[in-house]
Structures are given as C-alpha cells and as structure tokens.
C-alpha cells in the first residue's frame, strides 16, 4: 500500500494545471446510454473513479476508447446487452447510481445495486427513486438491488425535491430527456456540474432550460444523437490547490481556474487574508502579509461553500490567528480528518456538526491516516505547513479524485513523494 511523505519547506511558487471535473465527468459518461450514437468527452480527468465508471458502462455493453493519454473518451452505446449494474462494480463508487435514469429512459428497465463510495454519510437513494417514480417508473428494492421498470414508458411530471440533491437532479434530468411530455424539476441542484451535464445533453439534442437555477424544465424528445463535449474544470481540485500557497506561503497560478465556479470559497479566502486574482490564464493565489486570519465556514449546496472543500479549509484554519467554527450541513460524518489533524498538533473540539478550531503557530509532522478522498488531501496540505515529516497512509482514496497530485505539488516547490509502505519508491 502506498504512502505520501511531505516535508514542510516553506513558500510555493509556480503554476498548476487544473484537470477536468471528476464529478462532472462521472455524470457525463452515463449520458452515452441515452443514445446509440457516439459521445466524445474531452478534458476528461485521469482518475480511478473514471476507470470504475468505464468498467461499469462496458459491463452494460458500451464501447469506450481513450485517446490523448486518457483525456479524450469516446463512448458508444449502440448495443446495450446488459441492464444490470452489478454490486462488484457499483460498490466502489457512489456515482454508479447515475446509470439508473438513462437505462430506464432508453431501455425501459434497469437493475442497479445500491452504491458505495467514501464513508462520509448515508447519502440515501430516496430522492432518485421518488423522482423517477414520478416519471412513471416502478422501483422495488430486492436483495440490495433496485429493480426498476417503466412498462408504459416515462412521462413528464412536476417534481419538487425536498433537498437540492446533485445526483438525483442528474438522474432525473437524464431520464426526462426521453420521457413523453414536459418535466419540471423544482428545487434542482445548481452546481456547475449540473450546468455542464445540461450543455452536453443539449448538444445531443435534448430540450432543456433553466440549468443553474432552482427550476429546470425538460421537454422530452424521441431520441438523442451523438456529440462532442469538453468537461468543465474541476472546481474542487481548483479550490484544493488554492489552499496550498495560502497554507504554505508563496504565489501559485491555477491554470484554467475561474472564480465564478467557487465564489463562496474565494470570499472566505479573501476574508482570511489570501489574495485571489482572476487572470487570463486562470486564478493567481498568494498569501497576504502576515498570518492567516480565522474565519467561520458553513457548508451549503451551491452556490454556498462546498462540502468537498471543508476538510481542506479546516487544515488552513489549523494555523490561522484566532478561533474558527466549521459547520457541516451536507454530510453527517465528515469530520474524520479532525483527529488526524490533531495528531499534527491542531487544537480543535468536535461537537456534532460543528468543529471549533483554535489556530496554532505551527503544525508538527506526524504519521496520519486518510479516511476519505477530501480528508486525504487535507492532510497533505497540512503537511506543507508542518515542521518535519508528515507520512499519509491509505492514499488510495486520493486516486479517486486527484490526478498527479505529487507531480503538481512538486512543480511548485513542495517536497513530496509517493512511496510503497516501508520506504521503497513507488
């Protein structure tokens, strides 16, 4: 098993290219199931989750080819020969449930295992199920699988989600593209990944309006055709690397970054004493004079502060001047990185959905263990600002969401390496 070793060595300088968005690509790939013509995705990230989704789609009969070192994916679902998403694949990644809506819309039936992913909360499927049932699907849970069918086809409906779920919004929108009539989805998720999915579906011939707002309207069409679509920049990778010069010092330009993707996050960095500047190449980030200031953070659905940047922000607050309170409102079990940060000398008190962090002058390097995807990178960021050596174990989580993290941080001056456990270079 691999480990990542970080030596805190001061300010970072240079540039980091930002990859295509993992969460966007994982929703775009199942869109191939809606058409018998090829869908080509450019700017695809090279991650283990993308490989898992590839494996799942191939198990359903899709043909997938990669070009340009995996950054271009061409997917063709002209021959769907299997309608069962098997547990052995689905358990690896929660986004696997996004094949449910497209399969129902195209084939009229699907059998999909309940999903897996990071252990950061229950994240139930009820909003997916209720939304698809409103479109006319009949769904039954048997032996850990959702058995879904639409014997009379899917029909447009008015659906009012009680929570703006990203995954449910994606599943419902994809299913509704081939439903008869008009679907109005209220309290829809507004994330950039939703906007990106709609742009792709529209390029495939879907009739959709309102993406990026709380109400999305879909007019069903008889069929969708092929298209080529560039995957949007990964706003979570972007925010993660923006933390690096903020916590370690220096100035780094994030190539391809756009402030409008993470405005709430940028506002918190500014309040903490971090300079954030849009350039013609991306976003330039530098720590202003003096120590970072403590700021309070509350995670919210987009356009609020992203839950996927909470762990990274907590690492930054560990060395801030003053006391900050971080409140997690999206997932109920997303502070597992807190005890590991405390091993590095952080002072914090976890109570329910809140963590109170009292900043310290300096963190100390220590052996720590990653518990989920975002927690793993938060520990690496903390290591950049710590005295001595930080050894992060269980970094396989990292491969699900960050490509070439060691290479990118080395490129701006970080002392970081990935090794096999026991010290042999990997």
Q: What is the pLDDT of residues 178-215, one digit of tens each?
A: 999 999 999 999 999 999 999 999 999 999 999 999 99
* Angle formed by the axes of helices 373-384 and 310-317, nearest 10°: 20
Does position 397 have pLDDT exceeding 90, yes or no?
Answer: no
What integer is the mean pLDDT of 309-327? 97
Residue of 25, 118, 200, 318 marked active site: 118
> Residue 120: which pLDDT band, with cuts at 50, 70 and 90?
very low
- What is the distance between the alpha carbons of residues 124 and 137, in angstroms, rounded to a whole number? 18
What integer is the mean pLDDT of 239-248? 97
> Residue 124: which pLDDT band, with cuts at 50, 70 and 90?
low
Give domain limits for the chain.
Answer: 2-19+233-420, 22-230
Nearest to 57 by CA among 87, 83, 91: 83
Binding-site residues for phosphoenolpyruvate, in ranges, read 22-23
**What pLDDT is stored for residue 333 in this prediction?**
66
Q: How, if at all, do strands 227-230 and 39-42 pair?
A: parallel
Nearest to 412 by CA among 281, 162, 245: 245
Does position 121 have pLDDT exceeding 60, yes or no?
Answer: no
**What pLDDT is stored for residue 423 in this prediction?**
56
**What pLDDT is stored for residue 375 in this prediction?**
84
Does position 116 have pLDDT exceeding 60, yes or no?
Answer: no
Binding-site residues, in ranges, read 22-23, 94, 123-127, 308, 330
- Please report, in angstroms and rounded to a whole number, the separation of the first and last CA atoms in the chain: 10
**What pLDDT is stored for residue 330 in this prediction?**
86
What integer is the mean pLDDT of 393-418? 94
Answer whether 0.85 is exceeded by the pTM: yes
Cβ-based burial of 79 (10 A; exposed 0-12, middle 13-18, buried ≥19): exposed
- What is the distance between the alpha carbons of residues 360 and 371, in angstroms, rounded to a whole number? 23
Is domain 2-19+233-420 given the CATH code 3.65.10.10 in the classification? yes
Cβ pair 36, 77 in contact under 8 A: yes
> Residue 144: which pLDDT band, with cuts at 50, 70 and 90?
confident
Is residue 118 annotated as a catalytic residue, yes or no? yes
Helices (H) and strands (E) in the chain, counts: 13, 26
CATH fit for domain 22-230, picks 3.65.10.10, 1.10.357.10, 3.30.70.1560, 2.40.50.140? 3.65.10.10
Nearest to 407 by CA among 232, 239, 241, 256: 241
- What is the distance between the alpha carbons of residues 224 and 217, in angstroms, rounded to a whole number? 17
Q: Is the dihedral of CA 186, 188, 190, 193 positive or negative?
A: negative
Cβ pair 320, 294 in contact under 8 A: yes
Domains 2-19+233-420 and 22-230 equal at CATH topology level:
yes
CA 89 to chain centroid, in Å, comes to 19
**Over pLDDT 90: what percentage of the chain?**
85
Residue 104 CA: distances (Å) to CA of 57, 96, 183, 400: 15, 14, 15, 27
> Residue 117: which pLDDT band, with cuts at 50, 70 and 90?
very low
- What is the distance between the alpha carbons of residues 89 and 91, in angstroms, rounded to a whole number? 6
**What pLDDT is stored for residue 119 in this prediction?**
42
- What is the distance between the alpha carbons of residues 144 and 422, in angstroms, rounded to a whole number? 39
**What pLDDT is stored for residue 118 in this prediction?**
41
**What pLDDT is stored for residue 422 in this prediction?**
66
Compute the mean pLDDT over every residue in the chain, rounded to the nearest whole number: 94
Does position 246 have pLDDT exceeding 70, yes or no?
Answer: yes
Q: What is the pLDDT of residues 327-383, one digit of tens each?
A: 999 876 678 899 999 999 999 999 988 999 999 999 999 999 988 888 899 999 999
Query: Alpha-carbon dihedral of residues 383, 385, 389, 395, nearest 10 degrees?
Result: 10
Residues whose CB falls within 8 Å of the CB of residue 1, separated by 6 or more in sequence, listed in order: 393, 394, 396, 420, 421
Residue 190 CA: distances (Å) to CA of 40, 153, 261, 306, 340: 24, 28, 11, 12, 33
CA angle 129, 133, 134 (to 5 degrees): 120
Q: Is 225 helix (H, G, I), strand (E, B) or coil?
A: coil
- Show the tokens assigned to 44: 């695809």
**Over pLDDT 70: what percentage of the chain?**
96
Query: Alpha-carbon dihedral of residues 314, 318, 320, 321, nearest 10 degrees?
Result: 130
Residue 50 CA: distances (Å) to CA of 7, 96, 275, 426: 30, 10, 33, 22
């Amino acid at each position: 098993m691999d480990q990542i070793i970080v030596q805190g060595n001061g300010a970072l300088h240079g540039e980091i290219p930002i990859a295509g968005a993992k969460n966007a690509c994982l929703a775009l790939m199942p869109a191939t199931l809606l058409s018998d013509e090829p869908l080509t995705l450019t700017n695809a990230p090279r991650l283990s989750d993308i490989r898992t989704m590839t494996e799942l789609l191939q198990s359903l009969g899709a043909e997938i080819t990669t070009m340009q070192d995996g950054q271009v994916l061409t997917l063709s679902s002209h021959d769907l020969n299997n309608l069962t998403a098997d547990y052995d694949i689905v358990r690896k990644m929660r986004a696997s449930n996004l094949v449910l809506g497209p399969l129902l819309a195209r084939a009229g039936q699907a059998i999909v295992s309940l999903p897996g992913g990071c252990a950061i909360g229950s994240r139930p499927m009820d909003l997916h199920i209720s939304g698809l049932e409103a479109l006319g699907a009949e769904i039954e849970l048997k032996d850990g699988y959702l058995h879904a069918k639409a014997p009379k086809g899917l029909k447009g409906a008015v659906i009012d989600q009680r929570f703006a779920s990203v995954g449910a919004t994606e599943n419902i929108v994809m299913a509704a593209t081939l439903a008869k009539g008009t679907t109005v989805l209220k309290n829809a998720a507004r994330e950039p990944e939703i906007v990106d999915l709609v742009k792709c579906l529209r390029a495939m011939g879907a009739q959709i309006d309102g993406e990026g707002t709380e109400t999305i309207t879909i007019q069903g069409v008889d069929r969708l055709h092929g298209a080529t679509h560039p995957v949007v920049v990964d706003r979570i990778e972007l925010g993660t690397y923006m933390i690096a010069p903020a916590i370690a010092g220096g100035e780094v330009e994030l190539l391809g970054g756009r402030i409008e993707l993470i405005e709430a996050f940028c506002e918190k960095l500014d309040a903490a004493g971090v300079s954030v500047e849009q350039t013609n190449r991306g976003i330039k980030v530098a720590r202003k004079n003096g120590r970072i200031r403590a700021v309070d953070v509350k995670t919210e659905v987009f356009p609020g502060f992203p839950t996927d940047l909470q762990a990274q922000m907590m690492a930054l607050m560990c060395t801030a001047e003053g006391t900050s309170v971080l409140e997690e409102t999206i997932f109920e079990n997303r502070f597992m990185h807190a005890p590991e940060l405390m091993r590095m000398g952080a002072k914090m008190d976890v109570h329910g959905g809140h963590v109170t962090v009292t900043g310290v002058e300096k963190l100390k390097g220590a052996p720590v263990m990653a518990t989920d995807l975002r927690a793993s990178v938060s520990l690496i960021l903390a290591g950049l600002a710590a005295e001595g050596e930080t050894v992060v174990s269980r970094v396989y989580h990292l491969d699900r969401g960050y490509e070439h993290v060691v290479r990118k941080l080395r490129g701006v001056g970080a002392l970081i390496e990935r090794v096999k456990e026991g010290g042999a270079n990997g």
